[in-house]
Amino acid sequence: MRVKFKIYRYQPEVREEPYFDTFEFDAEPTDRVLDGLNHIRWQMDGTLVLRRSCQQGICGSDAMRINGANRLACKVLIGDVGAKITIEPLMGFRVIKDLVVDMDDFFEQYRSVLPYMITEKPPPEVERLQSPAEREVYDDTTKCILCAACTTACPSFWSNRDFVGPAAIVQAHRFIFDSRDEGTDERLEVLGERDGVWRCRTIFNCTEACPRDIKITRAIGEVKKAIALKGA
């Protein structure tokens, strides 16, 4: 099929203002949007840049806006979005060049929730025990690949860049509900602050955007409840 990719360009060394470029070429409906972008880069215009690595939806490199929705370019088939495709960088972070955005703040937010196992008790010689049921409680949030699709789809984040954002809350959830972890109090403290979970207005954009199908809004709800219970 003949496709038309309209792509947001920002080449600060050449031109101050961002602009759109259009590329027309033949593609298979089963090609991924990422294949289309690679085709452009390798056959038409080598100056186009984006982040990509695994090409199979697991590394989290290529989240971008595809016809207005946050998606991984490697997980969307051209045939499923149509012949006219508009591609823009994620919203809410500074654009460095074309589709590449500055992820520093995103990883800063991530770090702020203490995203690692905290334990006081020394571990046993073998594994710590955890029942399948205890393991199941936080299974969903272990799937996160830190792609930022959720955070950059969130209106609360767009209006307040200090909001810790859904991705960081998902990461915190993964530890708060892990029976082995002993750092819950510290984490709830961070998330209970002004720019923590309460900025979430349950808009569900994050859940819709997540390429890993994580039930993000539900996870945020569980964290809110944990904070409320602790406060009570």
Partner 1 sequence: MSKHVHTYDALVVGGGGAGLMAAVYLTRQPGLRTAVLSKLYPTRSHTGTAQGGISASLGNMGEEDSWEWHAFDTVKGGDYLGDQDAIEIMCREAPEVVYDLEHMGLPFSRTDDGRIAQRRFGGHTQNYGESLVRRSCYAADRTGHMILQTLYQQSIKHGVRFFDEFQVVDLLIDDGGCRGAVALELRTGDLHVFRSKALVLATGGYGRIWEITSNAITLTGDGLFVSARCGIPLEDMEFFQFHPTGIWKLGFLITEGVRGEGGILRNSEGERFMERYAPSLKDLASRDVVSRAIYKEIRAGRGIDGRRYVHLDATHLGADVIEQKLPEIADFCRIYLGIDPVTDPMPVQPTAHFAMGGIPTDIHGAVLALDGSVIRGLYAAGECACVSVHGANRLGTNSLLDLVVFGRRAGIAMADHCAAAELLPVGDDPAGRARADLERLWATAGKDGEKAAEIRREMSELMMNNVSVFRTEELLIEAKEKLAELKERADRIAIDDPSRGFNLDLTEAWETQGMVVLAQVITECALHRTESRGAHSREDFPDRDDENWLKHTLAVLRDGTVEIGYKPVSFTRFEPKEGVS
Give the footprint of partner 1 on this chain (CB under 8 A): 11-14, 30, 32, 41-43, 45-47, 49-61, 75, 77, 79, 96-97, 100, 103, 107, 111, 115-117, 123, 125-132, 134-135, 138-139, 142-143, 145-146, 174-175, 178, 180-181
The Cα 146–Cα 168 span in angstroms is 9
* Number of shown-chain residues binding ligand FES (CB under 6 A): 12
Residue 221, judged by CB atoms within 10 A of its CB (0-12, 13-18, 19+), counts as middle
**106 SS3 class:** helix
Output 50 or 164, the one with its CB closest to ligand FES.
50
Beta bridge partners of 8: 20
Contact present, 169 and 219 (Cβ < 8 Å): yes
* Sequence-distant (≥ 6) Cβ neighbours of residue 141 within 8 angstroms: 170, 171, 173, 174, 177, 214, 219
* 87 near ligand FES (CB under 6 A): no
| Partner from partner 1, ligand SF4, ligand FES, none contacting 150, C-beta within 5 to 8 A by type | ligand SF4
* 72 near ligand FES (CB under 6 A): yes
The Cα 47–Cα 207 span in angstroms is 33
Element (H, E) at 64: strand 63-66
Q: Which range, of 13-21, 46-54, 173-181, 214-222, touches ligand FES by CB under 6 A?
A: 46-54
Output 69 or 118, the one with its CB closest to ligand SF4.
69
Min. distance of Cβ 142 from ligand SF4 in angstroms?
Answer: 10
Chain positions contacting ligand FES, by CB under 6 A: 52-55, 57-62, 72, 74
